[in-house]
Amino acid sequence: MSWLVTGGAGYIGSHVVRAFQAAGIEPIVLDTLTSGVRAFVRDDVRFEHGSILDGALLLRLFTDYDVEGVVHLAGFKYAGVSVQKPLLTYEQNVTGTATLLGAMGEAGVDKIVFSSSAAVFGTPDVDLVTEETATRPESPYGESKLIGEWLLRDQEKAAGVKHTSLRYFNVVGSGYPDLYDASPHNLFPLVFDALLRGDVPRIYGDDYPTPDGTCVRDYIHVSDLAQAHVAAARRLAAGEPVERVYNLGSGEGVSVRQIMDAVASVTGIAFDPEIATRRPGDPARIVATGEKAARDLGWTMRHGLDDMVRSAWDARRSAD
């Protein structure tokens, strides 16, 4: 038996694939390579180039590889860009998920771990987000992830699908020197790329109601995140109860200024960040508790901030 990992050639997906291998679970990777990197998938992993919008391909994979369950990470993930590209976002994240669930139903595959997002919360009005915090997404991306959760819920009622959704917060770091965050929009690669070009990294807004005036976020290491997927898949496979959603958060926030200080310390490159105006829609603070995930999935923060920065920096430099 194997598990299909959609988007398994991406930054997060490739870490999940290696965590599955380390746990003795065979992963099958499906990726369009639109943002994924083929070299992130080792030669001993079966790789299929294709889209979750291709129902016939999905049916073949489920049959050919005796798939037991799915870890669904494929999709369009850029919240800011989704405002300019709502139709693409909905096609990839909503139609794609519906197509995947339809193929699962036809093939008799009834287990799925879904990659959701903190974007479903929008700008929360509480200091610490829980699974019960109201969802108020503020972008097509956040809306599409919330709809994905609804699709799983409704398919559970209609067809008995066993599922859980993992709501990620800010995923950083690297578990392997050859896996790095290649996103053109995430904070760590933006800061690293600026330093490697000899430019000064930028902070968007230093007048927020936070201790140092910069936004506070919840940063989690990608390897810890990958382990949570393995634990969720194992519980589903064993028929053990799971929550419909889990927040994967640290319970403690780190400011953008603190990130910049850690980057300067780890890289040995001294710099004074440029201060730009706030970006529309950036909440001052979003931090989540991971208590339910700790209870059920063994979720814990195994890496500190310096570890996150150092591993990400080393992996990014190895890419040049």
State pTM to two decimals: 0.96
Q: Return the active site residues.
A: 141
Residue 134 lies in a domain: yes
On whether both 203 and 132 belong to a single domain, the answer is no
On whether both 187 and 77 belong to a single domain, the answer is no
Amino acid symbol at 285: R
On whether both 203 and 110 belong to a single domain, the answer is no
On whether both 50 and 143 belong to a single domain, the answer is yes
Tokens of 188: 């760590």
The total of structural domains in the chain comes to: 2
Instruction: List the domain range (segments joined by +) for residue 275.
Output: 173-217+250-288+302-318
On whether both 160 and 277 belong to a single domain, the answer is no
On whether both 140 and 207 belong to a single domain, the answer is no
Residue 296 lies in a domain: no
| 48 in Cβ contact with 57 (< 8 Å) | yes
Distance CA 180, CA 119 (A): 22
Residue 293 lies in a domain: no
On whether both 90 and 182 belong to a single domain, the answer is no
**Exposure string over 5-36, b if 16+ CB within 10 A, otherwise e:** bbbbbbbbbbbbbbbbeeeebebbbbbbeebb
Per-residue pLDDT, 280: 75
217 - beta bridge partners?
254, 286
**Is pLDDT of 65 > 90?**
yes
Terminal Cα-to-Cα distance of the chain (whole angstroms): 37
Q: Which CATH number does the domain housing residue 257 bear?
A: 3.90.25.10
pLDDT tens readout for residues 148-173: 999 999 999 999 999 999 999 999 99
Residue 85 lies in a domain: yes
pLDDT tens readout for residues 106-149: 999 999 999 999 999 998 989 899 999 999 998 999 999 999 99
On whether both 283 and 162 belong to a single domain, the answer is no
Per-residue pLDDT, 80: 82
Average pLDDT of the chain, as a whole number: 95
On whether both 198 and 122 belong to a single domain, the answer is no
pLDDT tens readout for residues 174-220: 999 999 998 888 999 999 999 999 999 999 999 999 999 999 999 99
Per-residue pLDDT, 6: 98
Residue 294 lies in a domain: no
Per-residue pLDDT, 282: 79
Looking at residues 81-87, what average pLDDT do you find? 92
| Proportion of the chain above pLDDT 90, given as a percent | 91
Torsion over CA: 28, 31, 36, 42 (sign) = positive
